[in-house]
Structure 1
């Protein structure tokens, strides 16, 4: 009987187990099936999902920020059609203040004195008994003192405004004189783009910002205060007084030796002849070579290709009035983001008498955000070129280790040009002229 009871108990357990298994299977079949999902940095992604991104600040996008009409003009050199000397007609550069409003009434001022008054106080006192009111749109705090024996109202208001470093405009409808410490001007620029670039670079150097350039009309609009006006007026006066400008066309290369050896620069001598290597100028880092016209971008790249791979990093041009200084930002005209894009090439140059002979006397400075890397004082004849060699690419590496070969280096090719500014009456049809042949020889012999 015990055996039979045990068998019954065993059968009961087996039946219960089967029922439980069946229930479990049915429950699994009833559970809905879900697709597999991936979670990547808190974003749930599957084939039907829509990407969700965090909100960005309302800032101009990088590509729109870098947009510039100037870049194609600055960052392109036509090496096949380069002229070392060109003559351009002299053109006036005008600066006109905008927003002056209506003409003031034809009133006369006699025997008027003012002592330690602001411009507004002096004008309020002058205009007592008239229906003209004075409104300060900007803070004009400087006090003025003086007297006007006789003159019209417009000249008197202009005089007192200048004394207080203020600007006025007149609203005839409301009979209001508005005073401000800032104003807006338009510059009518010459037609020659090289001179325009020199003017723009000079204004950037004077920290004049937010320049609005209309390349079609050749006009420039800027805003500033009394100090800004003085600086820009001085720039225009200096540029107008110059008879020469110096331009540099530039190529910047990174050179990778094909072997674990540096570039053998001494091979330049047998390759081009000693007469084409005119001067060697050492710097703190690197060396500047003054070379003849036989060594140009094409022949230099052919020479380098025998020992290395050559990559053009940046190309462009910049112009300075004679005796001034300017800069070329490699990153502004770089083909892509590279280590060297932090580099700036500064130049100061003068064309004129140098020991009894007309030469270009230049100082070329290489700078990064960490300071000056090297500099070279380079006297050269018109038609000569510069080749700066021996600047290690590792000078621009910011990490302890790099995959870049220790023998990779930066090579800078610079070709100076002279722009001669002459009276428009001496120019055929007032057009720009490139000097070649006998005309060039005559210019260089002057």
Structure 2
């Protein structure tokens, strides 16, 4: 891979090592209610090269906040078997080795475990106890019950505490399996879902009564397996949304055809009309290039599925070119007024947007030229779902070649940051993370 590959330049380039720095400087005032970790995962190839941005070894970057102080920053590679042994995709028996991947996409907490995720393998558990260094504890396969990869975008039901997720495969059918773990972390449901071909299924959604899958036209191409991302844009495959009742998890999946597109990330979903309509918001790419190249338009869209009539209404809601949508996760599956997403650049620099889905308006915090935010995670300020809170994001500054952790008031997005935590180095462009308050 040539050193000039775009995903190895600028703030996409990996950092060379792991560090720990304590007592960080702060501009503004960190809300004293915040005690915990802001963690974000992303690709950071430890050999300083990878065939695609999506394929670098996972590295978690964490800032520790305690009662108004920025206590520390640390970054740690996730010690998967691929990282420690250079393992291949198959084990000694020729089976796909689901421990041997990069765990580089997300970091979530469920049933007391902090999990680093990638959609092509098992999760890896991290040690986030106070006084520990984000060490990798080891692979987590739900006591041997999980037999497929796990999506990097599981959904926690705020009512039941259940974790809903899926795994998709590429070597043989079934290409899609739906899973559910209870609030204690025990895997209780694993059921295959029949789909006609192995597609790249990055995200899905949950409502109070349904699960919604996305079978979209980015299809596995074995001939590309050794050269990068082995997927091609195949609009003739068609695009559709699949709906499964949560109270009948082994029942029929109903499919609704939509216009060909691709969705990496959903904003949220909920039900209307006594459960007869499902509303799904997502960032829609009008197409992807072969090898998962980004060469299309992106913006916020809404799909409304009428379960009684068997129809779908598709609507573009905004024209900002944005990605990494988030909501207050305590409203997962429920009606929500606000959503958030990030824009990486442009003439006015990067921005974080707040969508008012009720009023159809957008407010934006613009960081200025050369300052690029990543995903913004919502951090609650009280116990009211949908109530006040903050947004946290790493923001890269090209002028200094360093990054900050920026805290914004989610209700006053155009105002200056509440706090800016100055980090000792840059945090490379990455994917997803969360605020994990101390339990």
For Structure 1 versus Structure 2, the TM-score category normalised by the shorter chain is: under 0.3
The alignment's TM-score, normalised by the length of structure 2, stands at: 0.21
Q: Which has the higher helix share?
A: 1
The alignment's TM-score, normalised by the length of structure 1, stands at: 0.21
- Highest RCO, 1 vs 2 (Cα 8 Å, sep ≥ 6): 1
